[in-house]
């Protein structure tokens, strides 16, 4: 089930990568699978479902509660809060540019946005529905949803499969191109400051792009061991090894502490950092990554330059008109 591809690249090879091949602008359109083509009507239905708290057992938690598209695509909490005030053990990853991930969730257990969309709804801590059958039954009582599903998928079309397809179609529109970095690699050499250019060179020279490569800075579908190097003070302070990553799902010892490589896009907006949200600032996150992944101690100048470059990865957020949700007339679910 799990096809683990851990990139092991010598830093000497990284230093030989040309800027032309290493630096790419973010595409403005995400590819859709053949069985779920993107249409305007499907995206609108997905937007409604994504923002509707009635997909949760308490009617209080929607996808947007933890992955807020009015912010950085997550909730700026160390651990997201689900139904009845429960919190999980991981920090919500951003939904912005998630369409460019090869796998989804921190542990990469979902192979697609459609598969990912199905999980939180029935997770007892997150949205708390007992089953997707219960979700479907609830949606079938709402006339507005019956009409919306029919317009997209045909008559009597409310189902788990179609609901997750619609949510995934909406998420594929959540792209943030045209950052200062994108403008720079497209030819506008005034788009980055001198410090940001130094930071760009530094992340390549140090080997950061061994994992954080490609237009989304998330690698070509890689898993990476974290931490790769030991440091007692960091481990004790931030509890990075308490969660075994992919092994929590696969139950395989070889998968312990393997994680999906997260995107660096919009990273300035998504504090706190790491899978457990244990690090509050971007400066500290960069320092920790250099030490635990590359066994490097950064100078103050290197740190400042890298953080400046990471700030250049904040893109332009598409204007969104929030949906009017179909009404539940004269009744409540709770």
Query: For each of the chain's 334 residues, which pLDDT tens digit applies?
Result: 444 433 333 333 333 333 434 799 999 999 999 999 999 999 999 999 999 999 999 999 999 999 999 999 999 999 999 999 999 999 999 999 999 999 999 999 999 999 999 999 999 999 999 999 999 999 999 999 999 999 999 999 999 999 999 999 999 999 999 999 999 999 999 999 999 999 999 999 999 999 999 999 998 767 999 999 988 888 789 999 999 999 999 999 999 999 999 999 999 999 999 999 999 999 999 999 999 999 999 999 999 999 999 999 999 999 999 999 999 888 777 6
- Strand 258-260 vs strand 223-225: parallel, antiparallel, or unpaired? antiparallel
Q: Give every CB contact of residue 170 below 8 A, 6+ residues apart in sequence.
A: 42, 43, 44, 45, 46, 47, 49, 50
Residues 6+ apart with CB under 8 A from 94: 67, 72, 73, 74, 263, 265, 266, 270
Beta carbons of 61 and 84 less than 8 angstroms apart: no
Q: What are the CA-CA distances from residue 194 to residues 47, 62, 99, 309 (Å)?
A: 40, 42, 31, 10
Active site residues per annotation: 126
What's residue 305's pLDDT?
98
Please tell me the distance from the alpha carbon of residue 137 to that of residue 163, in angstroms, as a whole number.
12
Structure confidence at residue 152 (pLDDT): 98
Model pTM?
A: 0.92
Cβ neighbours of residue 48 under 8 Å, at least 6 residues apart? 145, 148, 323, 325, 326
Q: Is 244 exposed, middle or buried (0-12, 13-18, 19+ CB in 10 A)?
A: middle
Instruction: Please list the residues that pair with 223 across neighbouring strands.
Output: 6, 260
What three-state secondary structure class fits 118?
helix
All domains of the chain, ordered by start, with CATH? 11-27+177-311 (1.10.760.10), 40-171 (1.10.760.10)
């Amino acid at each position: 089930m799990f096809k683990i591809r851990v990139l092991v690249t010598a830093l000497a090879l990284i230093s030989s990568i040309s800027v032309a091949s290493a630096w790419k602008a973010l595409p403005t359109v995400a590819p859709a699978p053949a069985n779920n083509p993107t249409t305007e009507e499907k995206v609108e239905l997905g937007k409604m479902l994504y923002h509707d708290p009635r997909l949760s057992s308490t009617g209080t938690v929607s996808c947007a509660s933890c992955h807020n598209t009015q912010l950085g695509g997550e909730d700026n909490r160390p651990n997201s809060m689900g139904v009845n005030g429960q919190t999980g053990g991981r920090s919500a990853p951003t939904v912005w540019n998630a369409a460019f991930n090869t796998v989804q969730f921190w542990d990469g257990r979902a192979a697609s946005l459609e598969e990912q969309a199905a999980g939180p709804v029935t997770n007892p801590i997150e949205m708390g529905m007992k089953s997707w059958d219960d979700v479907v039954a609830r949606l079938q009582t709402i006339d507005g949803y019956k009409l919306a599903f029919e317009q997209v998928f045909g008559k009597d079309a409310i189902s788990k499969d179609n609901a997750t397809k619609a949510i995934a179609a909406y998420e594929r529109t959540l792209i943030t191109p045209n950052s200062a970095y994108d403008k720079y690699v497209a030819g506008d050499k005034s788009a980055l400051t001198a410090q940001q250019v130094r930071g760009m060179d530094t992340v390549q020279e140090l080997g950061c792009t061994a994992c954080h490569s490609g237009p989304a800075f998330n690698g070509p579908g890689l898993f990476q061991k974290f931490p790769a190097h030991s440091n007692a003070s960091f481990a004790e302070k931030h509890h990075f090894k308490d969660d075994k990553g992919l092994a929590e799902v696969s139950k395989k010892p070889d998968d312990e502490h393997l994680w999906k490589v997260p995107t660096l896009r919009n990273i300035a907006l998504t504090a706190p950092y790491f899978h457990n949200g244990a690090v509050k600032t971007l400066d500290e996150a960069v320092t920790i990554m250099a030490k635990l992944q590359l066994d490097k101690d950064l100078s103050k100048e290197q740190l400042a330059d890298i953080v400046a470059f990471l700030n250049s990865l904040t893109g332009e957020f598409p204007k969104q008109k929030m949906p009017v949700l179909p009404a539940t007339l004269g009744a409540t679910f709770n």
